[in-house]
Amino acid sequence: MSRFLLITDSHPLESRLQACIDSAVPGSLYRVGAGAASQPPGDVLRRSLGEPTDVVVIGPDVATDTALRLASGLAASAPDVAVVLIAESDEDPELMRSAMRAGIRDVAPADADPAALRLAIERACAAVDRRRHPADADSARPRAEVITVLSPKGGVGKTTIATNLAVGLARVAPQRVVVVDLDLQFGDVASALNLEPEHVITDAAHNAAAQDSVVLKAYLARTEHGVYALCGPRTPAEADHLSPEQIGFVIDQLAVEFDYVVIDSAPGLGEHLLAALERTTAAVWICGMDVPSVRGTNNALAVLSELQLVPRGRHTVVNLADKRSGLTIGDIESTLGAPVDVVIPRSRTVPLSTNRGIPHLADGRHDSAFRGLSKLVDRFGAEEQQRLRQLHRREVVA
Ligand SMILES: Nc1ncnc2c1ncn2[C@@H]1O[C@H](COP(=O)(O)OP(=O)(O)O)[C@@H](O)[C@H]1O
Ligand SMILES: [Mg+2]
């Protein structure tokens, strides 16, 4: 049972928060006016009648300076109380940095949809729980699935599949999926998702954002499908100064905030990809239906196994499948020495969705490519989601 203290004059916000709490966690809500935020932290906590406060939620009608001052005071005097700030926007890196310094656990935008608000609430409760029961925290924290989509060749559908996988997973885990563009020179995740990002991976890796997962979120773009995206650099030269360590660190931070980190990669086995593979829990190998593609995949697998970088989960996808190619799925399986898990046929509609910037799984045409992509999503979605849900529940309720 968690106790929330909401500081705002807004009754509509109170109702929205109450509805979210009712759907997310066992908990009760007590509201005090925005003016209370100027009082000393101890006095603010005493305003909550009845039960002691676990989570303080500061409304957008409290001035930012006052909110940050209160949060810092609470961090010092009541460190096991979590603070959530509801601000006009959560896309201002400066605000996110100040919020982090003030010990604020999460910033939700004032117009957050119920899923996003619920997520902030669940996270705050989980943070309180971790602070109060540090011993159980590690075992209770669900581990993110870090999925890297890779192939030694270009043009085989990595970006198409990574973006569709992210959109499909966001159906089971809304707001909990981030797609990362690791094709640092010619990445096109932004274009595949019709995004014009304000910040890109280089901004995130070079700035203090990389030090904190909450701040890092301000550097992500968001799609209408509930997917977050860390897009590739604007020009190929921009990527020159990004080190593999920086990439690894960014992925580690994203894995704290999200349930699924889907990484789209560049052709080949560059050092940035190797850094990503060190953190990868499942690799999705994309192979075309031609001899060079199959051989390339086989060689890449051999190199990674020498480097001991073959991720635990392995999923093999044959994309652009075409009966007239002269190769069969059986031929590919015997060369790779492993079963092909998903076959995605060459489809006329996929290039159309690429050109429109609307992933095929989001635009609703249920052709055989749609079925193939859905099957890939299901390999991660269904069972995994059940497991995460149980872990979340345990963590939040304990
Ligand atoms: N199953 C498919 N059927 C038809 N076209 C596809 C299919 N998968 C990908 N494509 C198209 O192939 C092109 C290259 O795909 P992309 O995902 O960018 O490859 P990569 O990221 O491996 O370079 C895109 O125009 C995309 O629309
Ligand atoms: Mg690509």
Whether residue 49 is found in the same domain as residue 178: no
> Is 43 part of a structural domain of the chain?
yes
The backbone torsions φ and ψ at residue 194, rounded to the nearest 5 degrees and listed phi first, read 55, 45
Predicted pLDDT at 89: 83
Predicted pLDDT at 390: 61
Q: How many residues can be counted in the chain?
A: 398
CA 167 to the chain's CA centroid: 11
Whether residue 51 is found in the same domain as residue 107: yes
CA distance 165 to 319: 14
Q: Which atom of ligand 1 sits closest to the CA of residue 347?
A: 3
Predicted pLDDT at 210: 55
> Over the stretch 342-362, which tens digit does the pLDDT of each residue have?
999 999 999 999 999 999 999
Predicted pLDDT at 266: 97
> Is 71 part of a structural domain of the chain?
yes
Question: Could you identify the residue written with the tokens 């894995």?
Answer: 255
Token pair, residue 368, equals 């055989």
Residue 54's domain is classified under what CATH number?
3.40.50.2300
Task: Return the SS3 of 31.
Answer: strand
> Is 329 part of a structural domain of the chain?
yes
> Is 396 part of a structural domain of the chain?
no
pLDDT digits (tens), the chain, 398 positions? 889 999 999 999 999 999 988 887 788 999 999 999 999 999 999 988 878 899 999 999 999 999 999 999 998 899 889 999 999 888 888 888 888 888 887 888 898 888 788 888 888 887 787 777 766 555 545 579 999 999 999 999 999 999 999 999 999 888 899 999 999 999 999 999 999 999 999 988 886 555 677 778 888 999 989 999 999 999 999 888 899 989 998 999 899 889 999 999 999 999 999 999 999 999 999 999 999 999 999 999 999 988 889 898 999 999 999 999 999 999 999 999 999 999 999 999 999 999 999 999 998 788 999 999 999 999 998 665 565 556 555 544 43
Predicted pLDDT at 241: 84
> Is 152 part of a structural domain of the chain?
yes
Whether residue 222 is found in the same domain as residue 179: yes
Q: Indicate whether residue 155 lines ligand 1 (CB < 6 A).
A: yes
Where a domain ends, among 107, 138, 169? 138
Q: Which atom of ligand 1 sits closest to the CA of residue 348?
A: 4
Whether residue 103 is found in the same domain as residue 23: yes
Whether residue 328 is found in the same domain as residue 252: yes
Task: Return the SS3 of 109.
Answer: strand
> Over the stretch 17-63, which tens digit does the pLDDT of each residue have?
999 888 877 889 999 999 999 999 999 999 888 788 999 999 999 99
Whether residue 185 is found in the same domain as residue 92: no
| Residue with CA nearest ligand 1 atom 23 | 155
The whole domain housing 103 covers 2-138
Provide the number of structural domains found in the chain.
Answer: 2
Q: Indicate whether residue 153 lines ligand 1 (CB < 6 A).
A: no
| Residue with CA nearest ligand 1 atom 16 | 157
Whether residue 97 is found in the same domain as residue 154: no
Taking alpha carbons only, the member of 150, 355, 144 closest to residue 264 is: 150
Q: Indicate whether residue 158 lines ligand 1 (CB < 6 A).
A: yes
Whether residue 124 is found in the same domain as residue 156: no
Token pair, residue 139, equals 């075992």
Q: Indicate whether residue 350 lines ligand 1 (CB < 6 A).
A: yes
Where a domain ends, among 115, 138, 161? 138
Q: Indicate whether residue 376 lines ligand 1 (CB < 6 A).
A: no
Ligand 1 mean position to 191 CA, how many Å?
A: 13
* 36: DSSP letter: G
> Is 398 part of a structural domain of the chain?
no
Q: Indicate whether residue 160 lines ligand 1 (CB < 6 A).
A: yes
Q: State whether the Cα torsion 140-116-24-362 is positive or negative.
A: negative
| Residue with CA nearest ligand 1 atom 27 | 351
Q: Indicate whether residue 268 lines ligand 1 (CB < 6 A).
A: no
Residues with a beta carbon under 5 angstroms from ion ligand 2: 158-159
Whether residue 156 is found in the same domain as residue 254: yes
Where a domain ends, among 120, 138, 156? 138
CA 223 to the chain's CA centroid: 12
Residue 337 to residues 326, 375, 380, Cα–Cα distance (Å): 19, 21, 22
Whether residue 156 is found in the same domain as residue 210: yes
| Residue with CA nearest ligand 1 atom 11 | 351
Q: Indicate whether residue 93 lines ligand 1 (CB < 6 A).
A: no
Q: Which atom of ligand 1 sits closest to the CA of residue 183?
A: 21
Ligand 1 mean position to 93 CA, how many Å?
A: 34
Whether residue 221 is found in the same domain as residue 121: no
CA distance 252 to 144: 10
Ligand 1 mean position to 392 CA, how many Å?
A: 36
CA distance 68 to 361: 41
User: Which burial class, exposed, middle or buried, applies to 56 when counting CB atoms under 10 A from its CB (0-12, 13-18, 19+)?
Assistant: buried
Predicted pLDDT at 394: 52
> Closest ligand to 319 CA?
1
82-87, strands of its sheet edge to edge: 27-32, 2-7, 55-58, 82-87, 106-109
Ligand 2 mean position to 228 CA, how many Å?
A: 18
CA 181 to the chain's CA centroid: 13
Q: Indicate whether residue 154 lines ligand 1 (CB < 6 A).
A: yes
> Is 290 part of a structural domain of the chain?
yes
Question: Which H or E run includes 107?
Answer: strand 106-109
Whether residue 271 is found in the same domain as residue 130: no
Residue 323's domain is classified under what CATH number?
3.40.50.300
Question: Could you identify the residue written with the tokens 């274009």?
Answer: 191
Ligand 1 mean position to 243 CA, how many Å?
A: 28
User: Which burial class, exposed, middle or buried, applies to 64 when counting CB atoms under 10 A from its CB (0-12, 13-18, 19+)?
Assistant: middle
The stretches of the chain forming alpha helices (DSSP H) are: 11-24, 41-46, 64-77, 93-101, 114-132, 134-140, 158-172, 189-192, 201-206, 213-216, 244-257, 271-279, 291-306, 329-336, 349-356, 360-363, 368-380, 382-397
Neighbouring C-alpha atoms within 13 Å toward the C-beta of 221: 23
Question: Measured at the alpha carbon of residue 221, what is the angle toward residues 245 and 179, in degrees to the nearest 5?
Answer: 55
> Is 264 part of a structural domain of the chain?
yes
